[in-house]
Amino acid sequence: MKKIHYLLFTLAGVAMLFTSCNQQGNKSSNGALSSSAAEKVYVAPGEHDEYYAFVSGGFSGQLSVYGLPSGRLFKVIPVFSQDAEKAWGYNEETKPMLNTSHGFVPWDDSHHPDISQTNGELDGRYVFINGNNTPRIAKIDLSTFETTEIIEVPNSAGNHSSSFVTENTEYVVAGTRFSVPVPQRDMPIKEYKGNFKGALTFISVAPEDGGMDIKFQLLMPGFDYDLSHPGRGASHGWFFFTTYNTEESHTLMEVNASQNDKDFIAAVNWKKIEEYVNNGGGTMMPSNYAHNVYDEHTHTATSTMKKEVLTVDPTKVPGAVYFLPTPKSPHGCDVDPSGEYIVGNGKLSADLTVHSFTKMLAAIENEKFDGEAYGIPILNFEDVLAGTVSQPGLGPLHTEFDGQGNAYTTFFISSEVVKWKLGTWEVVDRQPCYYSVGHLMIPGGNSRKPFGKYVLAMNKITKDRYLPTGPEVTQSAQLYDISGEKMELLLDFPTVGEPHYAAGIAADIVKQRSKKIFSLTDNKHKYATTSDADVRVERNGKEVHIYMTMIRSHFNPDNIEGVKVGDKVYFHVTNLEQDYDVPHGVSVIGANTSELLIMPGQTETFVWEPKQVGVWPFYCTDFCSALHQEMQGYIRVSPANSNIDLSW
């Protein structure tokens, strides 16, 4: 019966989706967009955009940087996946960044970027982003737009409820999607119920240098933890996590995990737990995880394997965790700018449920509980309910806020963004999305002070919206103006990978932090060659180390002899430029480890293992000057048994 219900619901949704496709397709192709829409997204040549949008790449594993309102793509920042364009994960300096306890894992599924905050406002220092598949959290430094730290999350699987920051970036939080045996062990899957655990991981971020460290892991009952958001303002000190599969099923999930009328939002008082662990609470548990750090001065990453993690049993910290019943597999868990409202988007619910933080505190104070689950008190649904938005659409996923008292929720099945009012819960506007929207983003929408102005919808399907490119059409984002009472669609633009979620910030905040060059005198790379006097080639058994420099428009040395088949040749190349925006690239014929792309003042290394004798060219791969084509050299490779000495 249940199953049929769900099917009908889905079918109705699909039918709706197609109707809306057809109608809206006409609307846009007959020029329904106003010319003012074009004006609003037009950024004249040489002018800058007003906002940065950091859009995750989903299965591409990366983070793309766009300008808003233009939708122009500026950069793809490699995070969890190897990127040949920038040698990320190929050069010797960055390979350790992709180490995990499962070995070198050069791919992940990047989902939720979140920008660091001070006093609940975006400060533009870092972007954090989660890798879902081999659970990891990365930090991108917005002075260089480079990934500078990746920490693996042990005891987690499908790191989906991540990576959201508290309002002074005290913590970046990672919640597991799948519950698993903790610690991992060989056991029958059917013993899931009551035995698997869901780890919610609080990673501290050092105020001075942003260094990450796992402070503690809260080991929760074996539900699935879908998404999370920090409290802010009055609710600062709390963190909220949606759960589904409170049934604790392990098979046929689409049916079995949708039985309960209500799942929970878990409210976690992290300040209380922090105090508990600071006073010696918690249990150290053996767990392997990698912690990879890229050092700005040596331009080199190091990977350390950690062996244990501090775990906390929530029942040992009274008053730290409560469950708020929330209808039908809530997905998004979004807290409004004031910190009072906690919105739970029940995927299979007809209504949106909004909880009140004040009411929650009062219910806790009065100890009014509706039973417990694994020792964690369950609050009464009615006691904590602030209100419901009735039947706003089908398949609600995520909500963001404009700071003007309005909330915007995406509906996947009915494919639309719906605007509604906090406090009165009335729907005031709705706009179709093309098609099947997942997340949406208002710049600063996940902070105390949203910038408002635009909402970006990130769609899962595009169908007829772009020129066909074989069986798959580009994925896409859509920009709406939200400065008026009604939303106005301004722009579609294609994205890299799946535009899963995004974080947006006023450009001025980031612009002033952005670095122009790396100072050569500051280059502490182990193999740096900062002056031409130090250029050399050294042999150590079968290893050959080339200490090379590059500057417009030559390499030094540019002729190398004495290398033999079977050698392992290390090119350590330093870019001597001290001008903004003058990187050089280098590669050599047959090198299968990607090129190097070296920023001014930096050193990078690639390894070449020549297989054939000959005289082989190498050249600059990044067009750098009028004499770029002359920026080249030769390396001579002799037979393994030759007695030619190294020379350059």
What residues line the site for ligand RUQ (CB under 6 A)?
111-112, 160, 331, 397-398, 438-439, 500-501
**410 vs 602, beta carbon nearer ligand RUQ:** 410
Shortest Cβ 331–ligand RUQ spacing (Å): 6
**409 vs 605, beta carbon nearer ligand RUQ:** 409
**110 vs 603, beta carbon nearer ligand RUQ:** 110
| Segment holding 502, helix H or strand E | strand 502-506
Inter-residue contact 547 to 527 (CB < 8 Å) = yes
- What's the longest Cα–Cα distance across the chain? 87
What pairing do the DSSP bridges indicate for beta strands 568-575 and 543-551?
Answer: parallel
Give backbone dihedrals phi and psi of 316, rounded to 5 degrees, phi first: -85, -5
Q: 630 vs 98, 504, 557, 584, 624, CA distance in Å?
A: 35, 42, 14, 13, 11
Inter-residue contact 511 to 536 (CB < 8 Å) = no
Mapped onto helix, strand or coil, the DSSP state of residue 600 is coil
Shortest Cβ 549–ligand RUQ spacing (Å): 45
**273 vs 458, beta carbon nearer ligand RUQ:** 458
Instruction: Compute the distance between CA of residue 211 and CA of residue 148 in angstroms, rounded to an integer.
Output: 10
**197 vs 500, beta carbon nearer ligand RUQ:** 500
Structure tokens at 527: 């193999």
Shortest Cβ 438–ligand RUQ spacing (Å): 5
Inter-residue contact 345 to 331 (CB < 8 Å) = yes
**229 vs 331, beta carbon nearer ligand RUQ:** 331
**160 vs 299, beta carbon nearer ligand RUQ:** 160
Opening angle at CA 226, ends 222 and 231, nearest 5: 105
**311 vs 476, beta carbon nearer ligand RUQ:** 476
Shortest Cβ 457–ligand RUQ spacing (Å): 12
Instruction: Compute the distance between CA of residue 494 and CA of residue 64 in angstroms, rounded to an integer.
Output: 11
**418 vs 528, beta carbon nearer ligand RUQ:** 418
The conformation of residue 92, written as its DSSP 8-state character, comes to: T
Cβ atoms within 10 A of the Cβ of 221, count? 22
Q: Return the amino acid letter for 174.
A: A
Give backbone dihedrals phi and psi of 640, rounded to 5 degrees, phi first: -55, -35
**215 vs 347, beta carbon nearer ligand RUQ:** 347
Cβ-Cβ contacts under 8 Å for 257 (sequence gap 6 or more)? 224, 244, 245, 247, 249, 329
Mapped onto helix, strand or coil, the DSSP state of residue 277 is helix
**246 vs 345, beta carbon nearer ligand RUQ:** 345
Structure tokens at 66: 């766009």
Place of tokens 């009604």: 486
Shortest Cβ 500–ligand RUQ spacing (Å): 6
**445 vs 562, beta carbon nearer ligand RUQ:** 445
Structure tokens at 24: 């809206």
Inter-residue contact 441 to 452 (CB < 8 Å) = no
Shortest Cβ 460–ligand RUQ spacing (Å): 9
Cβ-Cβ contacts under 8 Å for 52 (sequence gap 6 or more)? 65, 66, 67, 68, 504, 505, 507, 510
**360 vs 397, beta carbon nearer ligand RUQ:** 397
Instruction: Compute the distance between CA of residue 275 and CA of residue 364 in angstroms, rounded to an integer.
Output: 19
**111 vs 229, beta carbon nearer ligand RUQ:** 111
Strands laid side by side in the 330-335 sheet: 330-335, 341-346, 352-356, 385-389
What pairing do the DSSP bridges indicate for beta strands 632-638 and 559-564?
Answer: parallel
Shortest Cβ 606–ligand RUQ spacing (Å): 35
Structure tokens at 134: 């081999």
The conformation of residue 532, written as its DSSP 8-state character, comes to: G
Mapped onto helix, strand or coil, the DSSP state of residue 157 is coil
